[in-house]
Amino acid sequence: MKRILLSLALTGGVFAQTAQEKAEQDLRLAQQQLLSLQAEITKEAGGLIKEVETIDDQVLAQTKTLADLLKAEDNVAGEQRQLNNELARRKGEFEYTLSTLRSFGSGLKDRIHPAEKQSFGVELAKRQKMADGSTDDLVMEIRNRLFLLHLSAERLQNISGGDRFEGSAVTEGAVIKEGKFAVAGPLGYFASDDNEVFGFTAIATAEGVDYPNLALVKEGGEPIADLVKSGSAIVPVDASMGKAIQVARVKKSISDYVEGGGLVGYGILAIGLFALLIAVWKVIEINRFPIPNRKKLNLILDDLLSHDTDAATAKAKAFKGLGGQMVESGVTYFYDKRRILEDALLEKLGMIQPRLERFLPFLALVAAAAPMMGLLGTVLGIMKTFAMMSAGGAGDSKSFSAGISEALITTAMGLIVAIPVIIIHGMLKSLAKSKFGQAEGVALSILNGTTELDESPGKDSSDDEPEDLDEAELSPA
């Protein structure tokens, strides 16, 4: 038993010593491996550090490159914006240029001399049509527009030195004459082929009118004929381009207005003159219409009240006209019944009023008819104007205005006649009424004189008390 334990103890000690040695050996081995591993790590760490440093350098380089690229990108974007702005400006300039060329081409026809519409205007219209038809191809349109500009420049060169060409012009009365033009700048001259019409051409015509209007030269037109035929002559220069002549010719005398009214105007003046003569005659007639004055009438009434019938009758016969007849009737029926005297006086008053007012209705008729006749003349004149416009061009506003102005002459003449006639008619009506009022006063005086009679031979005693006669009762129906 003891041997076994001793063996075990010896064995255990040996085993423990062996294990310790192995452990120490393992430890040394591990230390060696650690040192070797640390050496390897140290060796590899240097390479990695160098590699990291290299990578850092590359990152820095790439970062700088990126910054440079970003900056370059910003520069490129700025240049792109500048280019876009420049392109927009160029595009605007191009559109403005194209718009200007279009506007120039479309407005050129209105800036040329009216006489040139028959020569240069024909070629211009042709080229303008070509340019308007090439809007789908901008290059072709620009070429056509530039050709119009070139054509205009050639025209300026030609017209600055003077140009002559054949054509037609509109003279007085909307008559179209054929002849030849001589144009130098804004100055234009025309001479007809038959050497009957000479004048300055107007500086403008209406839209759609190809023939210019003329300011005719009535006398001294031979230099103009020499100019248009030979191209050289001493001619008058009108700085107003014919306007001064036109303004001078627009001013019309009274005879011109009368002639412009035509037959209707003569008719208006005829009835106006007739109405004026009647008015003068009526003024004389009414003012000279005899009405007995109150002083002599009172003497007659005194004779009648004193029953001196013969003296009253003699004095009554001294009065003339219808007024005297009324006084005679009053004397004749003074002693009769009051109603008989009233009827006799009313009969005479009924004759006086128509005499005073005769021909006054004719004046009222003239006052109403004259404006209507003027309107008739205006309508006929407008019809004539439209007929001339259909032959000479509907866009000639000047011819239209001249025609309307001439047509309105009859309207003015009708009003000139009607307004004074209306005033005269009213004055004569008032004058006649005043004169008739005087006649009524005479009749009332005679009638009221019977109230002073006491007893008169031949006077019916059964007659009622005389009544005062109202003025309305004396007025004839």
Helix/strand/coil (H/E/C) assignment for every residue in 267-327: HHHHHHHHHHHHHHHHHHHHHCCCCCCHHHHHHHHHHHHCCCHHHHHHHHHCCCHHHHHHH
Q: Do 444 and 345 contact (CB within 8 A), yes or no?
A: no
- 34 assigned to some structural domain: no
Burial of 444 per CB tally in 10 Å (0-12, 13-18, 19+): middle
Within a domain: 106: no
Q: Are residues 431 and 282 in the same domain?
A: yes
Classify burial at 250, counting beta carbons within 10 Å of its beta carbon; exposed 0-12, middle 13-18, buried 19 or more.
Answer: exposed
The beta-strand segments (E) located in 206-292 are 214-216
Q: Which of 155, 109, 114, 116 is nearest to 241 (CA)?
A: 114
Residues 232 and 286 in one domain: no
| 418 and 286 within one domain | yes
Residue 156, classed as helix, strand or coil, is: helix
Task: Indicate whether 61 belongs to any domain.
Answer: no
Residue 320 pLDDT grade (very low, low, confident, very high; cuts 50, 70, 90): confident
**197, amino acid identity:** V
- pLDDT higher than 60, residue 373: yes
Distance CA 349, CA 340 (A): 14
Model pTM?
A: 0.47
* CA 221 from centroid of its chain's CA atoms: 37
Q: Which residues pair with residue 192 across a beta bridge?
A: 179
Is 456 a residue whose pLDDT tops 50? no
Residue 282 resides in a domain: yes
Of 39-53, 110-124, 142-156, 367-381, highest mean pLDDT = 367-381
| pLDDT for res 422 | 93
> For the chain, what is the domain count?
2
Query: Which residues constitute the domain of residue 414?
Result: 268-474
pLDDT tens-place string over residues 414-447: 899 999 999 999 999 999 888 888 888 877 877 7
CA torsion angle for 275, 277, 281, 286 (degrees, to 10)? 30
Same domain for 227 and 283? no
pLDDT for 455 beyond 70: no
Domain boundary among 216, 250, 284: 250
Q: Would you state the pLDDT for residue 457?
A: 44
Largest CA distance in the chain: 226
Q: What is the pLDDT of residues 179-227, one digit of tens each?
A: 887 777 667 778 788 877 777 776 555 555 567 777 777 776 777 777 7
Average pLDDT, the chain: 76
Look-up: residue for tokens 């006063």?
Answer: 441
